[in-house]
Amino acid sequence: MNPSYARLKARAARIATLGEASAMLGWDASAMMPPGGGAARAEQLATLAGLMHEMATAPEVADDLAAAQAEGEWDQANLALMRHDHIRATALPTALVEASSRASSACEKIWREARRHADFAQVRPALEDVVRLQRETAQALAAALGMAPYDAMMDGFQRGVTTAEIEPIFDAYEAFLADALPRALDIQAARGPALPLAGPFPADRQRAMAQAISARLGLDYSHARLDESAHPFCGGTPTDIRITTRYRESEVAQALMGVIHETGHALYERGLPGAWARQPVGYAAGMAAHESQSLIMEMQAARGDAFLGFLGRELQAAYGGNDAAHAPANLAKLWRHVERGCIRVEADELTYPAHVILRFRLERAMIEGRLEVADLPDAWAEGLSRLLGIAPPDDARGCLQDIHWYDGGFGYFPSYTLGAMAAAQLMRAARTATPGLDAALGQGDAAPLLGWLRVHVHSQGSRLGLQDLLRHATGKPLDPADFTAHLTARYLTA
């Protein structure tokens, strides 16, 4: 192996190991850490971020990148990603990286209280600090990468996707939704109300069922654990997966579907190529790719008619109640219910993209300096009214509902809807290639689907960008028509 490339690989592995430690500290902060640990944890995370940045930008890295040579498709892709990562890293001074980490950690802790009290004013100064630093970051990255500032932020989450590609996709979806939503609501009303599931649903029993179903989907709990947090997420490392959810004893779907969603993320991490662990090419292909894996499990598979039949039997056995309430058609009424709601994480898949479009437009405006933090609540209400015809009753159900901005995550939101579109496209291809897929899902068996994803998505790591990954798996780049066709079949057919 070329000596310069060998040194780069060794350095990448050490940086990745520090990143894994940071990920575990982040998980602990959300799931286990007592409130009094916040200040120290912020300093720990900032120090790790600074160390990783110093290692990535050391002068000898540039020398090794100039001299490095790689043979073979995977090594060549790995080296190309190293060069791209180095451009991003050297664009940012260590002081800015550490300041951003500290500001985000501090703001995220304040946000928890502000959301609890529906008080945006409480977190506004901290968010202003975060946005100021994110604007600095975006400007520096844009200059280094030759991109617009917001595109440079998105590049950190999904390489190769630009605003110029996203805007027409989102504009077209807004037009589709304006026609589809009232039609879907009319069809839903004609079908009549759903029968309720008999509760209560004790949290410990929900947890046991959710973990058992997650394991049936393929998650190996010798390499994973399930905990609770205010905002469900998947974290950890590919060999130590941490997923979280939250429980309401009055209903069962939020936690169950949340675990299935995070299991999709976890299965992707577990399926990444082990031979390339802790190398750039061994990571997931980006957050839109990651969201496609959570949504193919939750929306495409688990909320489909076949898997609902399996879930109905499981719920009946666990909680008893009316047989008719557990029938697939009734569960579809309950768990594919369409409404104009304020909360993104509770939205149905037809209206969910509207929530993403709103956030995409607002965060882009903030990064570009066209929207100030003080004006965010009003801009949020105006945008939601335009997209869904409703307004949030308070800040907790408005601009305080998501953690992303308060934790410094600007540029992430488009990945959710791009991922939903990719999930529909991948599911269509998987069904074509695996004729017995739905019959297996009807028995709670996701092995045929997971096996196809392992080959066509998971094992590819980040060797391919999103568009090339979709070409590899489905024969074409991202095609939003597959998503609207899926929605039409599920929601617009009487």
**pLDDT averaged over 10-residue windows placed end to end, the chain, 494 residues:** 96 97 94 92 91 94 97 97 96 93 93 96 98 98 97 95 96 98 98 93 96 97 94 92 95 95 98 98 97 98 97 94 93 97 94 98 98 98 98 97 95 97 98 96 97 98 96 97 98 92
* Cβ(262)–Cβ(233) below 8 Å: yes
State how far the Cα of 165 lies from the Cα of 153, in Å rounded to an integer: 15
Whole-model pTM: value is 0.94
Give the 3-state secondary structure of residue 50: helix
- Residue 222 CB partners (closer than 8 Å, separation 6+): none
pLDDT tens profile 391-410: 999 999 999 999 999 999 99
262 included as an active-site residue: yes
Q: What is the pLDDT of residue 315?
A: 95
Peptide bond into 200 cis (omega under 30): yes
Average predicted confidence (pLDDT) for the chain: 96
The one catalytic residue in 98, 108, 262, 363 is 262
What pLDDT does 290 receive?
97
Phi-psi map region of 282: left, alpha, beta (phi>0 left; psi -120 to 50 alpha): alpha
Give Dmax (Cα) for the chain: 70
- Spatial CB neighbours of 407, under 8 Å, sequence gap ≥ 6: 104, 107, 108, 111
Strands (E), 159-315: 224-228, 234-237, 240-245
Among candidates 400, 360, 371, which has minimal Cα distance to 108? 400
DSSP three-state, residue 413 = coil
To the nearest 10°, the Cα dihedral for 325, 330, 331, 336?
-150
d(CA 167, CA 84): 25
Buried b / exposed e across 207-236, counting CB within 10 Å, b at 16+?
bebbbebbebbbbeeeebebeebebbbbbb
> Which pLDDT does position 1 carry in this prediction?
87
